[in-house]
A and B are shown apart, each in its own frame.
Chain A
Amino acid sequence: MVGSRRNLGTFLSYAAMTLGAIIFVGPLLWVVSTSLMGPDQNPFVIPPQLIPHPATLANYQSVFKTWPFGEYLLNSLELAVLSVAGTSIISTLTAYPLARMDFAGKRIVFALVIATLVLPGEAVLVPRYLLVNFFGMVNTFWGVAVPGFFSGFGVFLLRQAYLTLPKELEDAARIDGAGELRIFAQIMTPLVMPSLAALAIFTFLGSWDGFLWPLIILNSQKMYTAPLGLAYFFGYFGASWQLIAAASIIVVLPVIIVFVSLQRLFINGVTGAVKG
Chain B
Amino acid sequence: MRQIRSVPMRTNHAHRRAWFVPYLFLAPGFVLLIVWNYVPAAYAIWISFTNAAPGNSSQFIGFANYARLLSDPSFWHSLLRSFEYLLVVPFLMIIPLLFAVLMNQRLPGVGVFRTLYFLPVVLSMVVVAIVFSEIFQTLGLLNVGLMSLHIINQPISWLALPSIAIFVVMLVTIWKGIGYYMIVYLAGLQTVPQELIDSAKVDGANLWARIRYVLVPMLWPFMMFVMIMATLGAMQVFTEIYVLTGGGPLQSTTTLLFYVYQATFANYQFGYGAAAGEVIFVLLIVFSYLEFRLSGKRWTT
Residue of A nearest to B269 (CB): A126
- Let me know if A64 is at the binding interface, CB within 8 A: no
- Interface flags, B30-49, vs A, CB<8A=1, else 0: 10110111111101100100
Interface size of B by CB at 8 A reads 94
- Let me know if B232 is at the binding interface, CB within 8 A: yes
Q: Which of A234, A241, A267 contacts B243 (CB 8 A)?
A: A234
The docked-state distance in angstroms from the alpha carbon of A274 to that of B227 is 12
- Interface flags, B101-145, vs A, CB<8A=1, else 0: 011010100100101111110111111101111110001110011
Q: Which of A17, A43, A124, A259 contacts B41 (CB 8 A)?
A: A124
A44 contacts B124, C-beta separation under 8 Å: no
The docked-state distance in angstroms from the alpha carbon of A72 to that of B26 is 35
* Min CB–CB distance B159 → chain A (angstroms): 13
| Complex interface: stretch among A50-58, A191-199, A244-252 | A244-252
B277 contacts A125, C-beta separation under 8 Å: yes
Q: Which of A112, A128, A263 contacts B40 (CB 8 A)?
A: A128
List the B side residues contacting A27 at CB < 8 Å. 128, 131-132, 135
- Let me know if A8 is at the binding interface, CB within 8 A: no
Contact A118 B288, CB 8 Å, known A46-B145, A94-B30, A131-B35: yes
A122 contacts B40, C-beta separation under 8 Å: no
Q: Say what secondary structure dominates the interface of chain A.
A: helix
List the B side residues contacting A230 at CB < 8 Å. 124, 126-127, 130
User: Chain A interface: which size bin?
Assistant: 35 or more
| Complex interface: stretch among B66-74, B162-170, B178-186, B293-301 | B178-186
**CB neighbors of B among A213-254 (8 A):** 215-216, 226-227, 230-231, 234-235, 241, 244, 248, 251-252
* Min CB–CB distance A211 → chain B (angstroms): 4
* Min CB–CB distance A185 → chain B (angstroms): 11
- Let me know if A113 is at the binding interface, CB within 8 A: yes
List the B side residues contacting A89 at CB < 8 Å. 28
Contact A118 B36, CB 8 Å, known A20-B113, A230-B126: no
The docked-state distance in angstroms from the alpha carbon of A241 to that of B118 is 25
B22 contacts A103, C-beta separation under 8 Å: yes
A-B contact pairs, 26 of them (CB 8 A): A13-B105, A16-B102, A20-B116, A24-B117, A91-B29, A94-B26, A98-B26, A102-B22, A103-B23, A120-B284, A122-B238, A125-B257, A146-B36, A149-B32, A150-B29, A175-B10, A177-B6, A177-B10, A180-B17, A180-B21, A211-B126, A211-B238, A212-B238, A226-B124, A252-B122, A263-B115
Given A20-B113, A259-B119, 20 further pairs, Cβ under 8 A? A10-B107, A17-B103, A27-B128, A27-B135, A96-B25, A97-B25, A97-B26, A123-B41, A130-B47, A131-B40, A146-B36, A155-B29, A174-B15, A227-B124, A248-B130, A248-B131, A255-B123, A256-B119, A273-B184, A274-B222
Nearest 9 CB-CB pairs, A to B? A94-B29, A127-B40, A97-B22, A271-B187, A150-B32, A124-B40, A103-B22, A127-B43, A227-B126
